[in-house]
Structure 1
Amino acid sequence: MAELDNEELRRLKDVNMDEAPARRHVRDCFKDIQHNLDHILIKTPGDGIKTKESYEVNSRGVEIFSKSWLPEASRPRALVCFCHGYGDTCTFFFEGIARRLALSGYGVFAMDYPGFGLSEGLHGYISSFDLLVEDVIEHFSNIKENSEFSSLPSFLFGQSMGGAVSLKIHFKQPNAWTGAFLVAPMCKIAEDMVPPPVLKHILIGLSSVLPKHKLVPQKDLTDAAFRDVTKRKLAPYNVICYCDKPRLRTAVEMLRTTQEIEQQLHKVCLPILILHGEADRMTDPSVSRELYEKAKSSDKKIVLYKDAFHSLLEGEPDEVILRVLSDIISWLDDHSFQVEGS
């Protein structure tokens, strides 16, 4: 089976996944293989959980893929709305995280951004970070307005670039969320992941002429993200992840957004939990410390994990993954009880 799987992965290199139909087809072909991988998240049981996958056209005319995980036997204690990282999807690894949260009593909702995962749009292309954030706000607002969930506490869950998305949502909706927890948030891209200044200025200039071109140099993100070598070998099975060189406009939008967020850390005012690996070489843990110090939230907490890399929930040894999940669920339990008892 392993040899067959590797052969299938090699064939993927010849598949053009620029558009959503191809990504959806590839995901369908690999579903069974993905479900049998030996990873603590993937092996999380789904018994007692209601899952639903949907495709809906949003107000901008973009078909968005979304997924939900709800406890089967009881009403959710709160809503958790997930914002995924750059290149990623709310399927594959995240499904195990969502099942853990649902088994702890939480309703989990997630979507793929336009251009990512199974949603429509050119793969890996962000024309405007602000538009992306508006798409996410629209999707989660529709869920929160549902009479079934409207009275429940609601939390943002941002991972990596999703941390930047979550903070931008908070800035636009300062009183709409019960709290947020951010895993390795992209408040600043680590210096050694950014091109040298001269090249950076050239690329910014080119982005207005060749916005969709893949010209931005990039190091191997898997090595930088996954500390556990065994888990690193499973990363390629996230077959609809965007792993090519960043497109010019995407890179510029991400850089602009992190610079903007870094200047607004003092505006963060909701209950917040920040989790970051001390050895993260992709997003700067020192800026997570700065977020913790500058946020005007009266209820804030930061947890730094010694020697841990960027992918705290996917690429660390099992005991670290379980500790991070436990830290998240304990924080959610505390804050959901506060709301329920208030």
Structure 2
Amino acid sequence: MRNDVTVYEDLFYTKDGIHLRYRSWLPREPRTIVIFVHGAGEHIEKYVHIGEHLSREGHACTVYDLRGFGKSGGRRGHVSCFDEYLRDLEQLIDFFKRHLGRMPIFLAGHSLGGLIVTRYVQHKSKQVNGIILSAPALGFNLKIPSLAVRMVRFASYVAPSLSVNHRRLTNKIQEIPYFKHLFPEKVDPVLKDPLMCPVYSIRWVEELLKHAQKAVQHAADIVIPVLCLHGDEDPLISLDVVRAFFDNLAVQEKHWVLIRGAQHVLFHSEQLAAVDAVIHWLNKSVHRGASPSL
């Protein structure tokens, strides 16, 4: 299917005054709306090819910079609470419903974005028709000692704005032979990207860990269709945790895609296996007769 596509970029202002940069790809006659939530430290430019491919198949697509990332407002790599992400997403959903009319809405998210999407539908499932999770940040291959978790929790309340530069931390960890296998050999292009955010606050880390645990505990609360994708060589997010979460979903309309040879980043512009899986699933959802969300 081919469609004339309009692409535009703008700013959306949240109720607490933070501007969020977004970019939309709108086919002339869209069949669905897909709102894509990026991973930690990322930005819109990482997912331009997603918008291009989905829109060519008749699926309107919007990618936005999370608060504190990319060109959006807010303190870099910080949230006071995870609910800030959920409120931003809800406001964007309402915004696009008003501007694009009633049609099926799907949420998609990679890594941190997958966690945000998961937590959102565990509270507001009637707002959307289905979700697409790409290596959602539900558990990590690098086991974090319970003492370290307690220290992060304590520091989060004593000095919530204290930040950690993950570029420097990554370089230090990579020097330890035991951890070398957890990192790809070529990380420079990512680390040199000026729009990538290398800094995260202690509060952000604590909120991430807390909500990853909650998301797993409340897997059965998801009652809408789910597509979950994961790479079998992901060095960051635990395949076992994500698969267990998927198995515990109570919804019958769920589909698991394991991409062989893939690491954490599934949506490569050169490797389209994940994109093709998403398009196929969306097309099937339309054919099943997904109704406009409430």
Same fold (TM over 0.5): yes
- 2:32 maps to which residue? 78
Q: Which has the higher contact order (CA 8 A, sep 6+)?
A: 2
- 2:78 maps to which residue? 125
C-alpha distance in 2, partners of 1:341/1:208? Answer: 44
Q: What displacement does 1:115 show?
A: 1.1
- 1:291 maps to which residue? 245
- 1:153 maps to which residue? 104
C-alpha distance in 2, partners of 1:233/1:49? Answer: 34
Q: What displacement does 1:149 show?
A: 2.6
Q: Retained in 1: the 8 A contact 2:9–2:21?
A: yes
Q: What displacement does 1:307 show?
A: 3.0
- 2:136 maps to which residue? 185
- 1:329 maps to which residue? 279
Q: Deviations over 1:297-342 (max 9, x none)?
A: 1111101122321001138xx3xx2111111111111101222699
Q: What displacement does 1:216 show?
A: 7.7
- 2:177 maps to which residue? none
Aligned residues: 282
Taking structure 1 as the reference length, what is the TM-score of the superposition?
0.76
Which structure 2 segments of 5+ residues have no match?
175-179
C-alpha distance in 2, partners of 1:80/1:99? Answer: 12
- Structure 1 window deviating more from structure 2 (204-213 vs 121-130): it is 204-213
- 1:219 maps to which residue? 170
| Root-mean-square deviation over aligned CA pairs | 2.6
Q: What displacement does 1:154 show?
A: 0.9
Q: Retained in 2: the 8 A contact 1:313–1:324?
A: yes
Q: What displacement does 1:237 show?
A: 5.4
1:276-315 equivalent positions in 2, closer than 5 A: 276-314=230-268
Selected match of 2:198 from 220, 223, 243: 243
C-alpha distance in 2, partners of 1:226/1:311? Answer: 12
1:1-342 equivalent positions in 2, closer than 5 A: 48-71=4-27, 74-89=28-43, 91-146=44-99, 148-150=100-102, 152-192=103-143, 194=144, 196-215=145-164, 218-219=169-170, 229=186, 232-236=187-191, 238-244=193-199, 246-314=200-268, 318=270, 321-339=271-289
C-alpha distance in 1, partners of 2:37/2:98? Answer: 18
Q: Retained in 2: the 8 A contact 1:50–1:70?
A: yes
Q: What displacement does 1:57 show?
A: 2.1
C-alpha distance in 1, partners of 2:121/2:210? Answer: 18
> In the superposition, relative to structure 1, how do residues 64 and 168 fare at CA in structure 2: closer, same or farther (>3 Å)?
same
Q: Deviations over 1:190-222 (max 9, x none)?
A: 334x3x332332222112122121248743699
Which amino acid in 1 is paired with 2:212? T
Q: What displacement does 1:83 show?
A: 1.1
Which structure 1 segments of 5+ residues have no match?
1-46
Identity of aligned residues (%): 24
- 1:12 maps to which residue? none
C-alpha distance in 1, partners of 2:118/2:291? Answer: 27
> In the superposition, relative to structure 1, how do residues 67 and 284 fare at CA in structure 2: closer, same or farther (>3 Å)?
same
Q: Retained in 1: the 8 A contact 2:190–2:196?
A: no
Three-state SS of the structure 1 residue aligned to 2:10 is strand
- 1:4 maps to which residue? none
Q: Retained in 1: the 8 A contact 2:129–2:290?
A: no
Three-state SS of the structure 2 residue aligned to 1:155 is strand
Three-state SS of the structure 2 residue aligned to 1:92 is helix
